[in-house]
């Protein structure tokens, strides 16, 4: 004789209890803040941030200076297949950049127009929280960076990032790099990559490659904690919006529209 | 002992076959092969002593990697007061510019396959 009805119900009840015992469930039921919404104040005084002034960016349609500079400096492969493409800085239509903003009667100058997007170097980065090997981490200055040596290619970070700022190397990227910059490593198949706020250039006292390449001054970069910095000046003078702030990731790329 | 002739003959054949690679090397003159990493002509001093580098270059490279990637520290100072940019491509390879004549010599001999070159760009061979 197998399991009778009474015994089945007992097992089912116990399994439900055990299932509910998961950490996340306890967090939700106990009414305290869930782990995902907790963020640690960054250590150190600096906080790097970027301002994208779309008013200046609109002026030049089809300009790709920032993207080309970034991808050249960091050996980012150019793959046409959108399922395999690698993105550090790219464009998204307005509706996908600010999904909670667009509506039926969105102004013509925004509707469907490309917006420059990149990693938001969040104050509360979900990609860092979910990375099982700590390959993705935050520098004290707030930049969310990667240790490619440690990445096992599990792609949790890609699922975690609400901005699509991470790309996975499905193929050996070296075949898709036209001109290799020997100063920066390429990646290998099976590794995730993302914008690194040009940490290697900041150490040399340079501006990020995209900021340097933008001749129209549409990209501004600096320490948002410094009241005298240029980013703060723009934040003071213009109304800025951020991508999906409702998710609580506290993105540090600001848009003037 | 039954069939001792066949067993001993079989054992002899087996021994000859299993030691054949060693014999082959002796006959072809490869037995005393030694890797010969070519040292850079212009530079005489490395970051550390040659003895240290021979034994522990992989540890040093790992320390450099962690310092640069994890701690964002890029300058390495040694005891002599000199400083170096902690970079495989810019520092190590600026002297040891030929991977085939330097790195590969010992790595191939010992059957070691470091994965540095999967990502880091090796210098173009000077033709």
How many domains in chain B? 1
Is there a contact between A210 and A202 (Cβ–Cβ < 8 Å)?
no
Per-residue pLDDT of chain A (257 residues; tens, 9 = 90+): 678 999 999 999 988 888 877 766 777 777 777 666 666 665 568 899 999 999 999 888 889 999 999 999 999 999 999 999 999 999 999 999 999 887 888 888 888 889 999 999 999 999 999 999 999 999 988 999 999 999 999 999 999 999 999 999 999 999 999 889 988 999 999 999 999 999 999 999 999 999 999 999 999 999 999 999 999 999 999 999 999 999 989 999 999 98
Average pLDDT value for residue range B89-111: 90
Map tokens 């848009």 to a residue.
A255
Query: Could you say which of B70, B118, B121 has the minimum Cβ distance to residue A188?
Result: B118
**Cβ–Cβ pairs < 8 A, chains A and B:** 29
- In this prediction, residue A2 carries a pLDDT of 79
Q: Is the pTM of this model over 0.95?
A: no
Task: With beta carbons under 8 A apart, name residues in chain B contacting A181.
Answer: 121
- In this prediction, residue A38 carries a pLDDT of 66
Range of the domain at B85: 50-119
Class of A48-256 in CATH? alpha beta
- In this prediction, residue A188 carries a pLDDT of 94
Q: Does B113 touch chain A (CB under 8 A)?
A: no
* Nearest-Cα residue of chain B relative to residue A196: B69
Q: Where are the domains of chain A?
A: 5-32, 48-256
- In this prediction, residue B60 carries a pLDDT of 94
Residue B60 located in a structural domain: yes
Instruction: Give A101→chain B minimum CA distance, Å.
Output: 37
Is residue B127 pLDDT above 60, yes or no? no
Residue B10 located in a structural domain: no
The DSSP annotation for chain B comes to: -TTHHHHHHHHHHHHHHHTHHHHHHHHHT-TT----PPPPSS----SS-HHHHHHHHHHHHHHHHHHHHHH---EEE-TTS-EEE--IIIIIHHHS--TTTTHHHHHHHHT---SHHHHSPPPPPP-
Task: With beta carbons under 8 A apart, name residues in chain A contacting B113.
Answer: none
């Amino acid at each position: 004789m197998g399991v009778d009805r009474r015994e089945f119900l007992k097992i089912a009840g116990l399994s439900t209890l055990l299932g509910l015992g998961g950490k996340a469930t306890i967090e939700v039921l106990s009414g305290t803040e869930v782990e995902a919404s907790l963020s640690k104040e960054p250590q150190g005084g600096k906080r790097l941030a970027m301002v994208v002034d779309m008013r200046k960016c609109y002026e030049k349609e089809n300009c790709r200076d920032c993207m080309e500079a970034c991808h050249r400096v960091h050996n980012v492969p150019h793959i046409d297949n959108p399922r395999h493409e690698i993105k550090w800085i790219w464009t998204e239509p307005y509706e996908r950049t600010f999904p909670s903003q667009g509506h039926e009667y969105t102004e013509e100058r925004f509707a469907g127009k490309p917006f420059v997007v990149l990693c938001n170097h969040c104050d509360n980065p979900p990609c860092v929280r979910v990375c099982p090997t700590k390959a993705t981490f935050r520098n004290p200055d707030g930049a969310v960076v990667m240790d490619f040596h440690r990445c096992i290619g599990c792609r949790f970070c890609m699922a975690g990032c609400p901005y699509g700022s991470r790309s996975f190397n499905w193929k050996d990227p070296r075949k898709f790099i036209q001109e290799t910059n020997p100063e920066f490593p390429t990646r290998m198949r099976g590794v995730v990559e993302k914008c690194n706020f040009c940490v290697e250039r900041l150490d040399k006292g340079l501006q990020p490659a995209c900021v340097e390449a933008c001749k129209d001054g549409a990209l501004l970069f600096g320490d948002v904690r410094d009241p005298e910095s240029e980013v703060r000046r723009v934040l003071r003078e213009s109304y800025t919006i951020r991508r999906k702030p409702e998710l609580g990731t506290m993105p540090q790329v600001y848009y003037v529209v | 002992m039954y069939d001792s002739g066949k067993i001993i003959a079989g054992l002899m054949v087996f021994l000859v076959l299993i030691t054949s690679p060693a014999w082959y090397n002796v006959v072809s003159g490869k037995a005393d092969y030694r890797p010969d990493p070519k040292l850079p002509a212009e530079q005489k001093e490395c970051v550390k002593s040659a003895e240290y580098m021979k034994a522990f270059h992989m540890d040093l490279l790992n320390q450099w990697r962690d310092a640069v990637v994890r701690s964002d520290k890029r300058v390495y100072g040694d005891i002599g007061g000199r400083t170096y940019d902690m970079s495989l491509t810019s520092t190590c390879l600026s002297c040891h510019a030929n991977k085939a004549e330097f790195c590969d010599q010992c790595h191939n001999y010992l059957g070691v396959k470091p994965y540095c070159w999967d990502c880091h760009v090796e210098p173009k061979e000077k033709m």
